[in-house]
Amino acid sequence: MSVNDSFTPATRLAIYRTARLINLIDERFRSLLRSGRLAAVYYSPRGQEILAAAMGVHLKSSDYLVTTYRGIHDQLAKGIPLRQLFAEYYAKATGACKGKGGPMHITHPASGVMVTTGIVGSGLPIANGLAWASQLKKDGRVTLVTFGDGASNIGAFHESLNMASLWKLPVIFLCQNNLYGESSKYEKTTAVDNISERAASYNMVGVTVDGNDPEAMWKASGAAVARARAGEGPTLIEAKTFRFMGHYFGDPGAYIPKEEYDAHMARDPMPLCRAALLSSGAATEADLAAYDEEVNAQIEDALQFAADSPFPDVEEIDRDVYGVVKGAAA
Amino acid sequence: MSVNDSFTPATRLAIYRTARLINLIDERFRSLLRSGRLAAVYYSPRGQEILAAAMGVHLKSSDYLVTTYRGIHDQLAKGIPLRQLFAEYYAKATGACKGKGGPMHITHPASGVMVTTGIVGSGLPIANGLAWASQLKKDGRVTLVTFGDGASNIGAFHESLNMASLWKLPVIFLCQNNLYGESSKYEKTTAVDNISERAASYNMVGVTVDGNDPEAMWKASGAAVARARAGEGPTLIEAKTFRFMGHYFGDPGAYIPKEEYDAHMARDPMPLCRAALLSSGAATEADLAAYDEEVNAQIEDALQFAADSPFPDVEEIDRDVYGVVKGAAA
Amino acid sequence: MSTPAAAAKPEVITFTEAFSRALHDAMEMDPSVITLGEDIADEEGGGIFKVTKGLSTKFGGARVRTTPISEQAIVGAAIGASLAGMRPVAEIMLMNFITVPMDQIVNHAAKLRFMSGGQTHVPITIRTRTGAGAGTGGQHSDMLEAWFAHVAGMKVVVPSTPADAYGLLLGCIFDDDPCLFIEDQLTRTQTGPVPVKGQRIALGKAHVAREGKDVSVIGYGRPIRDAMVLAEKLAGEGISIEVVDLRTVSPLDTDTIMKSVAKTGRAVVVHEAPRSFGCGAEIVARIQEQLFGQLKAPVLRVASRDVTVPFAKVLEQEYLYKASAIEASIRKTLEQRASR
Amino acid sequence: MSTPAAAAKPEVITFTEAFSRALHDAMEMDPSVITLGEDIADEEGGGIFKVTKGLSTKFGGARVRTTPISEQAIVGAAIGASLAGMRPVAEIMLMNFITVPMDQIVNHAAKLRFMSGGQTHVPITIRTRTGAGAGTGGQHSDMLEAWFAHVAGMKVVVPSTPADAYGLLLGCIFDDDPCLFIEDQLTRTQTGPVPVKGQRIALGKAHVAREGKDVSVIGYGRPIRDAMVLAEKLAGEGISIEVVDLRTVSPLDTDTIMKSVAKTGRAVVVHEAPRSFGCGAEIVARIQEQLFGQLKAPVLRVASRDVTVPFAKVLEQEYLYKASAIEASIRKTLEQRASR
Ligand SMILES: Cc1ncc(C[n+]2csc(CCOP(=O)(O)OP(=O)(O)O)c2C)c(N)n1
Ligand SMILES: Cc1ncc(C[n+]2csc(CCOP(=O)(O)OP(=O)(O)O)c2C)c(N)n1
Ligand SMILES: [Mg+2]
Ligand SMILES: [Mg+2]
């Protein structure tokens, strides 16, 4: 895609479809958690569907993704298969990580999901390495690493952006600024008005964009991907968004002022995208209803697959510790 | 001092005197090292005397200093007594640290030298803590932390400046940009034209100044100290300078292009300051010669003190491990 | 000591309440006590585990600071403030995140007293939380105390009851050396008798939690709770277990350990951390060095498996040390007669 | 093996040459081998210790990269590149600086294979250098191998001769797990026989450096060189020492250790790191667990003192483990008869 490509209704539809997939799966997971039919620490992406989808349409499955505990939207936008994803949430042997990693460590190289980390900021240095390998192999791959606003205050962020710029690495730093880190407000922990301004510390291109606006996010993402593929180096994208479901599932979110929450809710990107799509004529109510049915069927299938799958054998505990021989255990 | 105070010949003289003290001690140490009469890893401050002196005249002994392995100029500008300093270099029981810390860990609270670290960038987080304590006690102290250009690429730098700005701490981050980190050129490791530009990432005041120009350095330092004392928060000062003696004593410095080296040498700040001082009439050749004699006498005294002092008792090894009881040894 | 029975008694508190009370009482007693960490102020809900709830409201935002996600800056700020005479308590939310500020802790907090020849010291307390069993997987469950026990200058403390948690946390805060205080996330709602307000427990002293004559069970933290239950059960069979709760893992109270094992001649060492190169090895090594010939059986270790903490419950339980293994080891040391 | 005699032989190389040759040969053999670290390229002089000299000129700046002073980014870049099929060798200039990238090493490099269920793995080698005796003080001398030995998924390697250094470094580079390779800064100019080009030494296997029947001396790295000298000397007195060089500290080759001690019945464990909670404790613990009753004397440990490495030579020497202490311990285990 070239930066001048125009944003078509078809593109909006593509973005909506991915975002809606994320949206429906998130809704389902939260209802399963509420009813106790799923037991896992869960970090909802509710509110951040559009930005992940708008970036996702620019990426190939061969491109690399490094994400975080709040990463299910990134993983789905990257095309991870539902069955392995769900089975991992259910700690089943058929899960992407055989139930050994769990939701916080989803990995699926076939779809380019290389690392999901539970440590704030730690994905950035690793993303540089994936991009360095692509630069050496000239394989044209782009590495996308996503993280939050809070992560922009940790040392690894600084070291990584400096190195990526010096080495002109094909990497995209996507900061999903949802205005909170756990229960801490952005202003209380981050001494800069826009995180994208920090790119200047590394002679790097930095842009702030409304992550909830499909067109704006699609343009910014496309430009960054094009820059990386052309060997012109990294980009820092700050996608402004909001976290509708608190930090983790069950977080009462009492620290968020009601007016602030309501103001964001009034601009929930999902219904907005849906409305724009309908008015653009790219899809009808019927089309979207049909799509929901299609997705719900996939969800049912994946849930059934997870339910029918066995838990890992106890023997699994000794596997994957070392490559060849089992390690340090006496 | 207020920012508008003008730079007088008397001030230049005060700066020269401190810088010359540093200069003469450094010359002496290097001759002692050459002749093998001193055995220690030594990081010469040659070329960075003026910036340390120009900052030093603004500080009280009650202010705090956190410096690095290349810190003898900062320590002398802060007023550390020669006897304890030299004795520590000579690993004597009368040294500031009883010979247990050595040149890389010079500590002397009475003159405000709180920490000297051998770990790049690690002084910055600690400086914030000293400044936090001053803020809580309202004791009006300022904390100065010095570090190199290379240190501006490590994570601790980023975390520290962000926190200092958020908390409006009375701390001054003095980056002594001597254009090299060990044998690596600035451009190869640092993706920004001026390190002071990084202050913008933290809504912090950042200035780049010619550290070898007494007036410019004095003005920038004075403004930063005034800002800190007034409770207006931290400042990042990037003092451009050069490292004439390589990274450590004995470093052949083959990685520095001759033209580059010569160009800097031609602007050696010490003779320039001396000349300006004489032409300003603030001092005569005779005055400066007398001062050198005075300093050389102090150096002789301190060297004699160090020479006459005993090495620490072997028992010292078990002291200062824990406050009350000796620790983990079986 | 806390036993299941205790949980029934009226006058009890949870571990979380004990941690919280210690912080409140310390800040009340001494204005130089200050605290910092992620989300710890009341504006942020008083901490993700609510241990710091109420502190910022009571003592103000200047002494109780919510920080950015910057563990190096958090520990560094604590160190610096301590050099200026404060007694900072820094919270590192979970122990796996302590891998981030290792330089500040090991190269600075632990060494500054020695390297300065005693001119400065670092009276900080680092509170952190961890422990497997909650299904949080490989990066949120590690017990890494062995690293810090291996660093001279550090003190490492792990409580096994709410009352000890209170007394030991006070002990850390008012100790003049850098202390690492480890809170177990799995037992945080368990209860025990209420501690005496303001009463500190001295660091560096192990506690004989239960006297016995047949086998010494030596450990710290969560497994001590299992050992106390087991001791009660085995007493029914006439097996007399002595439970030695180290409380302070390092510096290690060798005397109390030797006194106990010299008496029993049999020992089982237990901890939650993985077995290999864990703290248990040091305890075993010292016992055989000092009591060789007096031992009636080899000193056995019970610990978790040498693998990454798995997510799946079935695997996580397999990873964890087991109370049943403590019992089996006790019986094994009793069967065994010195084979010479 | 290297003995003082060897140093005299014509065909010898230094440790530094051995490290360097291994890197050159590995990069020549396999284009996926890449390396990064501070000042390592020839433009910067080929590394502060010259180990990487010539690499960037020979293999180009794309594969041999001088980095900023950013240890987290250095190790992270190595991890990421390894996930994409490369075999990165990262240099952490001195071991005390490895406290900075601990999160990348412990939470990521060591765990990704397990947490991904084997879908990814991290074949990186982290070369670092350390060791006391050079007068560099508290922040430039620490032996921290015990930390990494306690982390499942990591391999820890410490060579005791130039030939081993070459073979083991190749072994690390071509191993499919994250390896920590520790170079001793004090002996780097010492020499030993030349290794066979391209010949790797398998990880996880200890090496009986000298056979003997009276006492097993077990260790790794620098102290093994002392042990070999001592063994030669004591042989003159008719004392037969078996020297077991672990080579790989973790995973620990328990079989070779037990085979040796089962034969001798006496063991002295030695390492440079401070004694308490060091790797020696694990070795002692396993020996007494497995050979209880067959031991003729307690297993003794020789190690450095539990303090910060001091600057003053007199104190630094007092800090360091001593060859004389190894000899004294050997004699002590020989005097002692099981006191029952
Ligand atoms: C190094 C580290 N410190 C602290 C934590 C605990 N923690 C987990 S998520 C989180 C907040 C992160 O906020 P942000 O980066 O904005 O991402 P978001 O959760 O909002 O998507 C914190 C502090 C952690 N996982 N790692
Ligand atoms: C964390 C860490 N990494 C690497 C080193 C090794 N080292 C010591 S000084 C130095 C260069 C520092 O350069 P700079 O910050 O510019 O300071 P300068 O020496 O030029 O004054 C390096 C890499 C260290 N001491 N600490
Ligand atoms: Mg956020
Ligand atoms: Mg420099």
Answer yes or no: is pLDDT of B327 > 90. Answer: no
List the 204-223 stretch of C: residues with Cβ below 8 A of B: 204
Ligand 3 (ion): residues with CB under 5 Å are A 148-149, 178, 181
| D73 interaction partners in chain A (CB closer than 8 Å) | 125, 128, 156, 159-160, 162-163
Question: What pLDDT shows up at residue D339?
Answer: 43
Q: What is the DSSP letter of D42?
A: G
ipTM value of the model? 0.97
How does the average pLDDT of chain D come out, rounded?
96
| D306 interaction partners in chain C (CB closer than 8 Å) | 152
10 Å CB burial of residue D309 (0-12, 13-18, 19+) is buried
Minimal Cα–Cα distance from D304 to chain B, Å? 10
Question: What pLDDT shows up at residue B4?
Answer: 57
How does the average pLDDT of chain A come out, rounded?
96
Residue B117 in contact with residue B128, Cβ under 8 Å?
Answer: no
Answer yes or no: is pLDDT of C9 > 80. Answer: no
10 Å CB burial of residue C113 (0-12, 13-18, 19+) is buried
Q: What is the band of A267 on the pLDDT scale with cuts at 50, 70, 90?
A: very high
List the 87-106 stretch of C: residues with Cβ below 8 A of D: 96-97, 99-100, 102-103, 105-106
* Optimal mutation site among B149, B162, B173, B203, interface A, most CBs of chain A within 10 A: B162
Give mean pLDDT, residues C314-336.
96
Q: What is the band of C8 on the pLDDT scale with cuts at 50, 70, 90?
A: low
Whole-prediction pTM value? 0.97
Mark yes or no for CB contact C43/A120 under 8 Å.
no
Q: What is the band of B5 on the pLDDT scale with cuts at 50, 70, 90?
A: confident
Answer yes or no: is pLDDT of C111 > 70. Answer: yes
Give mean pLDDT, residues A177-206.
98
Q: What is the band of A180 on the pLDDT scale with cuts at 50, 70, 90?
A: very high
Answer yes or no: is pLDDT of B329 > 50. Answer: no
Output the CA D147–ligand 1 centroid distance in Å.
Answer: 25
Answer yes or no: is pLDDT of D12 > 70. Answer: yes
Torsion angle (degrees, nearest 10) of CA D24, D29, D34, D39: 10
Answer yes or no: is pLDDT of A63 > 90. Answer: yes
Question: Does the CB atom of residue A119 touch ligand 1 within 6 A?
Answer: yes
Q: Which ligand is nearest to the CA of D99?
A: 2
Q: Does A138 touch chain D (CB under 8 A)?
A: no
- Residue A149 phi, psi (nearest 5): -65, -40
Per residue in A312-322, pLDDT (tens digit) is 999 999 999 99
Mark yes or no for CB contact D69/B311 under 8 Å.
no
Minimal Cα–Cα distance from D73 to chain A, Å? 5
| C153 interaction partners in chain D (CB closer than 8 Å) | 308
Question: What pLDDT shows up at residue D97?
Answer: 98
Active site residue: D108, D140, D207, D271, which one?
A: D140
Mark yes or no for CB contact B64/C75 under 8 Å.
no
Answer yes or no: is pLDDT of C188 > 70. Answer: yes
10 Å CB burial of residue D259 (0-12, 13-18, 19+) is middle
Per residue in A72-109, pLDDT (tens digit) is 999 999 999 999 999 999 999 999 999 999 999 999 99
Q: How far apart are CA D151 and CA D251, in angstroms?
A: 10
Neighbours, chain C (3 or more CB pairs < 8 A): A, B, D
Q: Which residues of C are catalytic?
A: 140
Residue of A nearest to D249 (CA): A328
Output the CA B41–ligand 2 centroid distance in Å.
Answer: 14
Q: What is the band of B72 on the pLDDT scale with cuts at 50, 70, 90?
A: very high
Output the CA A6–ligand 3 centroid distance in Å.
Answer: 30
Q: What percent of chain B has pLDDT over 90?
A: 96
Mark yes or no for CB contact C116/B107 under 8 Å.
yes
Give mean pLDDT, residues C169-184.
98
Question: What pLDDT shows up at residue C338?
Answer: 43
Residue of B nearest to C124 (CA): B129
Output the CA A149–ligand 1 centroid distance in Å.
Answer: 9
Question: Does the CB atom of residue B160 touch ligand 2 within 6 A?
Answer: no
Higher pLDDT, A230 or B329: A230
CB pairs under 8 A between A and D: 170
Pocket test of ligand 1: the residue of A68, A116, A182 to mutate, having most ligand atoms within 8 Å of its CB, is A182
Answer yes or no: is pLDDT of D218 > 60. Answer: yes
Residue nearest to atom 13 of ligand 2 (CA): B181
Q: What is the band of C337 on the pLDDT scale with cuts at 50, 70, 90?
A: low
Q: Does C284 touch chain B (CB under 8 A)?
A: no
Strands B180-181, B184-185: pairing is antiparallel
Across the interface, of B103, B155, B255, the residue whose CB is closest to D72 is B155
Strands C155-157, C248-250: pairing is antiparallel
Give mean pLDDT, residues C24-36.
98
Output the CA C266–ligand 4 centroid distance in Å.
Answer: 59
Answer yes or no: is pLDDT of B65 > 70. Answer: yes
Question: Does the CB atom of residue A70 touch ligand 1 within 6 A?
Answer: yes
3-state helix/strand/coil string of chain C: CCCHHHHHCCCEEEHHHHHHHHHHHHHHHCCCEEEEECCCCHHHCCCCCCCCCCHHHHHCCCCEEECCCCHHHHHHHHHHHHHCCCEEEEEECCHHHHHCCHHHHHHHHCCHHHHCCCCCCCCCEEEEEECCCCCCCCCCCCCCHHHHHCCCCCEEECCCCHHHHHHHHHHHHCCCCCEEEEEECCCCCCEEECCCCCCCCCCCCCEEEECCCCEEEEECCHHHHHHHHHHHHHHCCCCCEEEEECCEEECCCHHHHHHHHHHHCCEEEEEEEECCCCHHHHHHHHHHHHHCCCCCCCCEEEEECCCCCCCCHHHHHHHCCCHHHHHHHHHHHHHCCCCC
Question: Does the CB atom of residue A118 touch ligand 1 within 6 A?
Answer: yes
Q: What is the band of C2 on the pLDDT scale with cuts at 50, 70, 90?
A: very low
Per residue in C117-145, pLDDT (tens digit) is 999 999 999 999 999 999 999 999 999 99
Q: What is the band of A130 on the pLDDT scale with cuts at 50, 70, 90?
A: very high
Cα-to-chain-centroid distance, residue A220: 16
List the 110-129 stretch of D: residues with Cβ below 8 A of A: 112-121, 123
Output the CA D324–ligand 2 centroid distance in Å.
Answer: 37
Per residue in C234-244, pLDDT (tens digit) is 999 999 999 99
Question: What pLDDT shows up at residue A5?
Answer: 76
Across the interface, of A39, A103, A183, the residue whose CB is closest to C44 is A183
Q: Which run of H or of E encompasses B238? A: strand B235-240
Cα-to-chain-centroid distance, residue A161: 19
Q: What is the band of C299 on the pLDDT scale with cuts at 50, 70, 90?
A: very high
Q: How far apart are CA B316 and CA B59, in angstroms?
A: 34
